[in-house]
Amino acid sequence: MTQAKDDPLAMRISRVLAERIIAGALAPGARLRQGPIAEEFGASHMPVREAFRRLESQGLVVSEPRRGVRVAGFSQAEVKEVAEMRAALEVLALRHAAPHLTRAILDAAEEATRAGDHAGDVEAWEEANRLFHRTLLAPCAMPRLLRTIDDLQAASARFLFSGWRAEWEAPTDRDHRAILAALRAGNVDLAALVLGRHVQWIGPRGQDQAGRPAGRRAGP
């Protein structure tokens, strides 16, 4: 799905572990021991450790020296933090991408939105959602910004999966459509405003029931 298997072992291991953490197969706080993981992948400790460092930089695990790594927990505060960082950075990316958005790109983003509407489970919806954002923001051509946004999206997806694993129905994504409409009309400011709010939408249930995002500065 992602990339060929000719890149370093550490990369493959980190990808698999990241998937597991995001999907919730590895619970927050769970210790990741290098021995068993190395054995599972038929590798030695070195690639596993490199994978750990990569996961650490993505914020998916926390590492205490001499004490190993464990899956990063996410309190409501942390989820909010990630959401607000995403909002700030995706708005920035969108403003830079806007001048480069062609008709074809907007159509592709709309197609991604449609795919999300028809998604049968959270995973499919999340993938479509990610594709929407990526399609719209990639033309900003700011690699470091895009990398950071990707990591934040991964963290967001974790939260999404944790809350919704079972009961799921694909919601028609009004925000996505509003963003596209604004962009088609050339109203970048409006698109950025909606995107900023959209990204901070935490969903119907947080750790507690206070689902209202805090960074909401503009009206509804």
Binding flag, residue 127, a copy of itself (CB under 8 A): no
Q: How far is residue 91's CA from residue 110's CA, in Å, rounded to a whole number?
A: 18
Is the CB of 103 or the CB of 144 nearer to a copy of itself?
Answer: 144
- Residue 148 interacts, among DNA, a copy of itself, none and using kind-specific CB cut-offs from 5 to 8 Å, with a copy of itself
Q: Is the dihedral of CA 150, 152, 154, 156 positive or negative?
A: negative
Binding flag, residue 144, DNA (CB under 7 A): no
- Residue 121 interacts, among a copy of itself, DNA, none and using kind-specific CB cut-offs from 5 to 8 Å, with none
Is the CB of 89 or the CB of 160 nearer to a copy of itself?
Answer: 89
Yes or no: say if 118 and 129 are a contact pair by the CB < 8 Å rule: no
- Residue 122 interacts, among a copy of itself, DNA, none and using kind-specific CB cut-offs from 5 to 8 Å, with none
- Cα–Cα nearest to 201, from 89, 86, 93, 72: 86
Is the CB of 11 or the CB of 124 nearer to DNA?
Answer: 11
CA distances from 197 to 17, 119, 175, 193, 213 (A): 31, 23, 9, 6, 9
- Residue 115 interacts, among a copy of itself, DNA, none and using kind-specific CB cut-offs from 5 to 8 Å, with none
Binding flag, residue 61, a copy of itself (CB under 8 A): no
Residue reference for tokens 């996505």: 176
Name the burial class of residue 13, with classes exposed (0-12), middle (13-18) and buried (19+) by CB atoms within 10 angstroms of its CB: buried
Residues 146 to 165 in contact with a copy of itself, rule: CB under 8 A: 148
Binding flag, residue 44, DNA (CB under 7 A): yes
Yes or no: say if 54 and 150 are a contact pair by the CB < 8 Å rule: no
Q: Which of 11, 106, 115, 190 binds a copy of itself (CB under 8 A)?
A: 11
CA distances from 169 to 25, 122, 123, 124, 212 (A): 22, 8, 12, 11, 21
- Compose the 85-124 pattern: x for residues touching a copy of itself by CB under 8 A, - for all others: x--xx-xx--------------------------------
The site for DNA (CB under 7 A) is made up of: 8-10, 31-35, 42-47, 49-50, 63, 65-68
